[in-house]
Chains A and B, each alone.
Chain A
Amino acid sequence: MSRKAWEGRVANPKGVHCRVASRLSEIAAAHDAAVQLANAQGETADCASMLEILSLALTQGSVVRCTAEGPEAAQAAQAIERLLTCPEEQ
């Protein structure tokens, strides 16, 4: 069982809104991995739930931590990192 984690800052000017949260939950569902997101306050969300992600209140520039566990942890973590931290992906 592999584990992959990263920490970064949210790039999207509007923060993690419905559309981004929805895509994050899609990525989590598409990979064989359990993915968790956390904000600077240490609150966590299951990445499969867009409502939990929304309630982390991730605004532009805020710190986000991602932990993925499972056979496809690396791919999932990478796809999520790209979506959250690269401005051109928004």
Chain B
Amino acid sequence: MDTELDWQPDTGEPETLRGISGSPGIVVGKVVVFSPRPDGFIRYRLEEGAEGKEEERFRAAAERAEQGLLELRRQFASDLSDTLAIVDSHIRMVRDRMLFDQTLNLIREKQLNAEWALARTLGLIKRKFDHIADDYIRGRFADVEYVARLIGEQLSGQGRNFPAGFAEPVIVAGEDFSPVDTIRMHTDKVLGFLTEKGGATSHTAIVARSLGLPAVVGVSGLTNRCRTGDTIILDGYEGRVCLHPTQDQQRLHLEYDRQHRTFSEEMRWYIRLASETVDGLRVRLSANIEIPDELETAIYYGAAGIGLFRSEFGYFQGRDLPDEERLFGVYRDMLTALNPEPVTIRTLDVGGDKLAAHLPGSGMPVVRERNPALGLRSIRFSLHEKSLFITQLRALLRASCHGRLKILLPMISSLSELRQVRAVIAEVMGQLTKEDIPFNPDLEIGIMIEVPSAVVLADTLAAEADFFSIGTNDLIQYSLAIDRSNEYVAAMYDPLHPAVLRLISQTVEAGHRQGIEVSLCGEMAGDVFTAPVLLGLGLDELSMRPSAIPHVKRLLRHSTFSRLSGLTKQLLHCGDSSETHAVLKQYLADNYPDQFADYEGT
């Protein structure tokens, strides 16, 4: 959409912005617009009347920062008077009127959130200090910065603090939200997500779907036209946003949402039924989760295990790298809760750049990469940062006694990589045996199939892996050379591309020839339009966002494997996306006339 041509003055009249549906559902509510944050401080304007609460939040954070410094002071021996004097001066700075009162003034008078007010205050102090000619005194600004950072960490560094200062739950809007942002959001207070960038498979959309909250993504011009405090309608079914809606429009949208939800209620019937076709083909339907809190949702929707736990969560939560005990606790609790169902935990799947940026003091190498998607990430990063990897493996192996653990290795692109990892695991097992710490020596170690080379070599890899899990989100990106977060080419990202279907088919066949199970955990597993195709391809397990499980199960229970594999045979002969879409459309109309009467393709 061309924002220049589309731009209209803010007249308060109803106006519709178009984007991409990120997650279904409709909500009407107030929006909070998050501004970009170059220094890590999140910025947004407060709702009218919320200043008092925000001031309180700042006071409380300053109080905690002060307590932290007092604690630090107690730890020093009294003979270190020089150090004590520095800590004392930091303690005094917390309440200094230039820092403390000025921040409170900005919250009160400019309606800035506390982080923003603090960042601006720091900027004002810096400007004053910059004028000081004396190097030594000017250099003391570093102390002011340190104290401000301590307060800032108390404001936003711990737990889920956003959005704060709003009486009612709100719709959060911004350019895009990172995994760290969403983890820190207090999701009880979020009605829905709205972003200017990204597509249906962007991180914000994935998180919104797993939380069951509506989201619209890729709305260009959004942050210019939406103001904090505006009431908007967020339509996650259609990918639309309505600014300044009339009462009638609000009522209509909520009614439409109610109808959709009623349909979801009917789906609950399927939660306790077996996941098998009329002619007896059983497929395991499991859940993808990002945070341990989602386990409950997964169980609620009848997940037969966790097909993918993205273990990055534990690494982006605090200010330090998680230690073995903390990771062990998380893994053990998950395994215990689901025992005897399997829990598949993927080892750290992150670019080194992201982790280094999040943990500046951790000593992680900062690698400037021209092409991070092809760079030091995922299993490559783990093998490079071996001590970090060993910590995670120790925690995993120790947890393996508490249920059925499957370790999943991301981004394997060659056999030697798998062998290297197996060697590290053997080393860790040796350590644990020596230390007399119990673990399950027969736990399953599988690999993600998400790099084209892994598909080509699937037969070789299947001989040494215990299971395969196809990650279609990345496999599609890597095989079609599409960056799904690039709005210009995102439309070419097609799960039904014949090349993608053949890659999946080859992987399944190679796995089955070696007698190992093949699972699929991409977005397409939870899409009722593409799920029949996957079922026909013979996958043993589909792992998806929890709320999609009853929908896919319903579809499965109304299908026969003979027809599904007939569909697949036809699809594998197609040479172009237009053909695969036409074949699928015909199949759905013939076999499920009620459900897919008006299906127009994904």
CB < 8 Å neighbour of B96 from A17, A19, A51, A57: A51
Is B99 in contact with chain A by the CB < 8 A criterion?
Answer: yes
Determine which residue in A14, A48, A50 has the highest number of CB atoms from chain B within 10 A of its CB, and name it.
A50
CB neighbors of B among A1-54 (8 A): 14-19, 21-22, 25-26, 46, 48-52, 54
| B98 pairs with A51, CB closer than 8 A | yes
| B132 pairs with A57, CB closer than 8 A | yes
Is B129 in contact with chain A by the CB < 8 A criterion?
Answer: yes
Complex contacts, A75 vs chain B, CB 8 Å: none
Complex contacts, B129 vs chain A, CB 8 Å: 54-55
What's the count of A-B pairs with C-beta under 8 Å?
Answer: 59
Is B86 in contact with chain A by the CB < 8 A criterion?
Answer: yes
B520 CB to nearest A CB, Å: 58
Complex contacts, B137 vs chain A, CB 8 Å: 15-17, 54, 57-59
Contact A59/B93 with A17-B140, A18-B143, A51-B99 known, Cβ cut-off 8 Å? no
Interchain CA distance A19-B90 in the complex, whole Å: 10
CB < 8 Å neighbour of A18 from B125, B134, B138, B140: B140
Complex contacts, A26 vs chain B, CB 8 Å: 92
| A22 pairs with B133, CB closer than 8 A | no
| A57 pairs with B89, CB closer than 8 A | no
Is B128 in contact with chain A by the CB < 8 A criterion?
Answer: yes
Interface size on B (CB < 8 Å)?
Answer: 23
Interchain CA distance A3-B128 in the complex, whole Å: 29
Interchain CA distance A14-B140 in the complex, whole Å: 12
B141 CB to nearest A CB, Å: 9
| B92 pairs with A17, CB closer than 8 A | no
Interchain CA distance A26-B138 in the complex, whole Å: 21
Contact A52/B85 with A18-B140, A57-B133, A57-B134 known, Cβ cut-off 8 Å? no
| B89 pairs with A21, CB closer than 8 A | yes
Complex contacts, B487 vs chain A, CB 8 Å: none
Interchain CA distance A16-B144 in the complex, whole Å: 15
B102 CB to nearest A CB, Å: 9
Contact A52/B86 with A15-B134, A17-B140, A59-B134 known, Cβ cut-off 8 Å? no
Determine which residue in B86, B92, B129, B143 has the highest number of CB atoms from chain A within 10 A of its CB, and name it.
B92
Complex contacts, B513 vs chain A, CB 8 Å: none
| A22 pairs with B132, CB closer than 8 A | no
| A19 pairs with B86, CB closer than 8 A | yes
| A48 pairs with B97, CB closer than 8 A | yes
| B85 pairs with A19, CB closer than 8 A | yes
Complex contacts, B128 vs chain A, CB 8 Å: 55
CB neighbors of B among A51-75 (8 A): 51-52, 54-55, 57-59
Interchain CA distance A81-B179 in the complex, whole Å: 55
| A22 pairs with B85, CB closer than 8 A | yes
| B132 pairs with A55, CB closer than 8 A | yes
B123 CB to nearest A CB, Å: 14
| A51 pairs with B144, CB closer than 8 A | yes
Interchain CA distance A17-B131 in the complex, whole Å: 15
Is B136 in contact with chain A by the CB < 8 A criterion?
Answer: yes
Contact A22/B134 with A49-B97, A51-B125, A54-B140 known, Cβ cut-off 8 Å? no
CB < 8 Å neighbour of A46 from B97, B134, B138: B97
B44 CB to nearest A CB, Å: 27
| Residue on A nearest B98 in the bound complex, by CB | A51
Mark interface residues in B79-99 (1 if CB within 8 Å of A CB, else 0).
000000110110011001111
Complex contacts, B125 vs chain A, CB 8 Å: 51, 55
| A19 pairs with B136, CB closer than 8 A | no
| B132 pairs with A18, CB closer than 8 A | no
Determine which residue in A16, A18, A51 has the highest number of CB atoms from chain B within 10 A of its CB, and name it.
A51
| A18 pairs with B97, CB closer than 8 A | no
A73 CB to nearest B CB, Å: 20
B492 CB to nearest A CB, Å: 55
B113 CB to nearest A CB, Å: 23
Complex contacts, A52 vs chain B, CB 8 Å: 96-98
Interchain CA distance A83-B85 in the complex, whole Å: 15
| Residue on B nearest A19 in the bound complex, by CB | B85
Complex contacts, A16 vs chain B, CB 8 Å: 137
User: Interface on B for A, CB 8 Å cutoff?
Assistant: 85-86, 88-89, 92-93, 96-99, 125, 128-129, 131-134, 136-138, 140, 143-144
Question: What are 23 A-to-B residue pairs whose CB atoms are below 8 Å?
Answer: A14-B136, A15-B134, A15-B136, A16-B137, A18-B143, A19-B85, A21-B89, A22-B88, A22-B92, A49-B98, A50-B96, A51-B93, A51-B96, A51-B144, A52-B98, A54-B129, A54-B137, A55-B125, A57-B131, A57-B134, A57-B137, A59-B134, A59-B137
> Would you list the 9 A-B pairs with minimal beta carbon distance, nearest first?
A22-B89, A51-B98, A57-B132, A18-B89, A55-B128, A19-B85, A49-B97, A59-B134, A51-B96
Sample of 17 further A-B pairs with CB below 8 A, known A21-B89, A55-B128, A57-B131: A15-B134, A18-B86, A18-B143, A19-B85, A19-B89, A22-B85, A22-B89, A22-B92, A46-B97, A49-B97, A49-B98, A50-B92, A51-B93, A54-B129, A54-B137, A57-B132, A57-B133
